[in-house]
Chains A and B, each alone.
Chain A
Amino acid sequence: MSLPETPTPRTGQDFWERLAQLDRRIIFAFIFLALAIPLFFTIRQPIAVSPEGRAYFEAIENLPAGSKVLLSFDFDPPSSPELQPMAEATFKQLLTKNCKLVVIALWPQGPQQAEKALAVALRDPQFKDLKLEYGENYANLGFMAGDEVVIQKMNSDLPSTFPSDYKGNATLSLPIMQGVKNYKNFDFIINFSSGFPGTREWVQFCVDRSGSKMIAGNTAVQAPENYPYVRSGQLKGLLAGMKGAAEYETVVGKPGKGVSFMGAQSVSHLVVILFVILGNIAYFASRRKK
């Protein structure tokens, strides 16, 4: 599989040829400005919600109050601009439904990202009066090495896969974990992922083997690979990248970071698109001359 090559630079080029070979650092500078300047302004834009983004919201909305939900945090700080706003908004929606949350991670950085998202959600004034307690309403079981094997093993025995939580308590001593043996004891599963192991593995070894219902939040890079699972119903909903986060915040009705960053996204996308158009004009102009 191949695409024709860009002609290699030669001496004595005219304007169009030089434009076609533009120094990439000029593009870099434009991108930097396109992202930085909009951050100083509040740009209000209507966010169009995609069907799979709405499905994500509705899947949680349709859970019976008090459902037990397993959340897996499979990402690290670099992906947090995309996934952290989703995680925070998801926690809030789940907590308003009084769900019981169990967090695990297949990436070592996951537990800390989960703690940070939970802290943001719990700071929300609407949960002040509920007095949500660790171990009772939510728990963080920490990270476990083993990738897809960990997912597979929880089909039969979750407590021995995560013998202790993030703080070092025995998992089975937590009230929320009473009677939990495997995926069947959870009403719902949510996965935030930015690579391997991630949604692909969760679908393969959890959803398809246990029949659990799952939704996922992905980085926009990862999402195309998982769209087939949405279409086939193996995933009940999918949030793709910052746009996904913004969509979700829009449906929930609580605009947060995802929405506020979309201004910078718009401008930077326009810049990329203009460069693509420019590149094509230069390409055709220099080709016609030959």
Chain B
Amino acid sequence: MKSKFALFLFGLALFAAVPAAVGQTLLPPTAVRAKDAPNDAGKSILALWQLSASDIKGDKAVIGYQIFRSVSAQGPFEAVGTAAKGDTLFTDHVAKNGTDYYYKVRTLGALGVFAESETGGPAQAKAQWFNSDRSNAFLAVLILVTAILYFIYKASTGKELYIRKIAGLEEVDNAVGRATEMGKKIIFIPGRQDMDNVQTIAAVLLLGRVAKLAAEYETRLEVPNVRSMVMVSCREVVKEAFLKAGRPEAYREDDIYYITEDQFGFAAAVDGMMLRDKPAAVFYQGAFFAEALIFAETGNSIGAIQIAGTAQPAQLPFFVVACDYTLIGEELFAASAYLSKEPRLLGSLKGQDVGKVFILTAISLGAALATLKAMGWFSGEWTAAYIKAFLVR
């Protein structure tokens, strides 16, 4: 079967090649050059050439190019790879650093016909210490990091930093208060991802604050977990919060427990618990997936106050429609800063705002330049260069 197919291909190639081959001979590629591949760890050389005249004419006889390499200009040359027709570049990934290499390129035709170029080169593979394609990203990192560090430093020296009200967080007190009045418990779910997800870290920070309130109001707080690592961190944080509130004796380790790693096993268990115990307030903070809607719908049906917060864009709509308050994306990260008023958190929040100023300026300026260009009042090259400045490869 396979051979039949090969025969078919062969026939096809023959059909295409014969008229062309009869008409004229194949021309080689010209101006073969070689240079070190930039911005890499070495071991790579770029072989470049100009298209064979046959290729430019769109000659059907050209199948592609074959690249040959040697350590001396005289040869012997060995084949190192092929390139499609229309290509003018081949990256040789198996070069030794610091050795001279020479390249030749053949235009390949059907039936084993080929035309070989002059020798190009030499070039050596080298490793670079800085990826210059990424200098703009480097600059951006530098600006952001400096801004964040500067404000963390400033906040830690005692400077007051203003943070706007975040709706929902104002409600945390009310929610805990209401649970106390009703004599019912609070549930806090720190998402479904492990400690390596920054959303979980934000959630654990927030849990500390909620736990402190719960301790002050003498209300029971339960934290079901999907990950054992997160459970341990939650226990530490809650224990510390109870200690700070002056009620270490009220801390119950068993209220912070692990259920299962499985998504729906966890969803079903929490769901059942909510229906049985009817908590007065439920917090969903951290990374959630499809279970978000099940939780929020169930919580809504039992009439609990629900405060959600996640940076999973896909789940935000469900929290927004089914919960009383939702911290959207970055608000989740801001929440712990807002509640704790801790300098390092406030400072980094302020740093993030500096980032936003840069982003807003960059987009507005760019849009203005692009508009002027569209109206023909401004140089197109400048606008294009500006836009390109945000490209990182």
Contact = CB atoms under 8 A, between A and B. Distances in A.
A2 B301 contact: no
B268 interface: no
Interface string B80-112: 010010000001010000000000000000000
Closest 7 CB pairs of A and B: A131-B1, A225-B313, A2-B325, A131-B2, A1-B326, A225-B314, A221-B314
A195 interface: yes
Contact of B290 (A24, A129, A221): A221
Contacts of A195: 289-290
A37 B385 CA distance: 58
Nearest to B325: A2
B326 A2 contact: yes
A1 B325 contact: yes
Given A130-B1, A131-B5, A208-B392, A1 B327 contact: yes
A3 B289 contact: no
24 contacts: A1-B320, A1-B327, A1-B328, A2-B168, A2-B324, A2-B325, A2-B326, A5-B324, A8-B303, A24-B297, A24-B301, A64-B84, A129-B1, A129-B5, A130-B5, A131-B5, A156-B41, A179-B81, A181-B93, A195-B290, A196-B289, A211-B393, A221-B290, A224-B314
A222 interface: yes
A129 B8 CA distance: 12
Interface in A181-240: 181, 184, 195-196, 208, 211, 221-222, 224-225
Given A2-B167, A3-B321, 4 more contacts: A8-B303, A184-B91, A195-B289, A224-B314
* Size category, B interface: 20 to 34
A222 B303 CA distance: 29
Nearest to A24: B301
Contacts of B168: 1-2
Contacts of B289: 195-196
Contacts, number: 48
B256 to A, nearest CB: 25
B57 interface: no
B81 A1 contact: no
B184 to A, nearest CB: 15
A66 to B, nearest CB: 10
A224 B349 CA distance: 27
B4 interface: yes
Contacts of A24: 297, 301
B314 A129 contact: no
Contacts of A222: 314
Contacts of B326: 1-2
Nearest to A218: B314
Nearest to B8: A129
A211 B392 CA distance: 10
Nearest to A130: B5
